[in-house]
Structure 1
């Protein structure tokens, strides 16, 4: 049985093989860097969420005669709808710290 002899690559083929190896090395390193960045981002998010478990007790004062109509969440905000003597007002708070984030008042046109 005769075995097929593999001819030696030409100089052009050798240069091409070196270029392909270099490109594959760059692609492999780029992929490894991207995977490392994703793992670091996941670890960072897990680490940050573990610290935010502190309980917060806050008493928010409402004007006399006001009542809470509804509550809801929107992203990282807590929205409280308040009826103050017939006028509707929406107060928003940061969900993590419960600090006031803003007020939205509604008024009727005269």
Structure 2
């Protein structure tokens, strides 16, 4: 049996092979990093999501004679502006649970 003898690469060829290997290593590491980033983003979204919001019916009682002037949202809060007998009042509610989170009253100085 005769064995095929592979000639030794020249110095230029060896430098070219080393450069190609280095470029392939960089490309492989970049691809691995990109795939890991995508998997981390998908995992974060899956485990961070709180699911769909459950529909709830809430009845909020207003003071006698009060009327709603304006409503709005601010981030994850529902903001309701009331006029209570000439006095302005702002009430905030959590948008997901509709629980009251704060109340701000404005009065005129005497």
TM bracket, shorter-chain basis? 0.7 to 0.9
Partner deviation per Cα, 1:60-87 (whole Å, 9 max, x = no partner): 2222222222222222211111111110
Q: In the alignment, what sits opposite 1:59? A: 59
| Cα separation, 2, equivalents of 1:101 and 1:18 | 61
Q: Secondary structure of 1:98's match?
A: coil
Q: In the alignment, what sits opposite 1:86? A: 86
Q: 2:37 aligns with which of 24, 34, 37?
A: 34
Q: Secondary structure of 1:10's match?
A: helix
RMSD: 2.4
Return 75-84 or 14-23, whichever deviates more: 14-23
Q: Secondary structure of 2:50's match?
A: helix
| Cα separation, 1, equivalents of 2:21 and 2:38 | 26
Structure 1 unaligned runs (5+)? 1-7
- The TM-score, its normalising length taken from structure 1, stands at 0.73
- Corresponding pairs, count: 101
Q: In the alignment, what sits opposite 2:99? A: 99
Structure 2 unaligned runs (5+)? 1-8
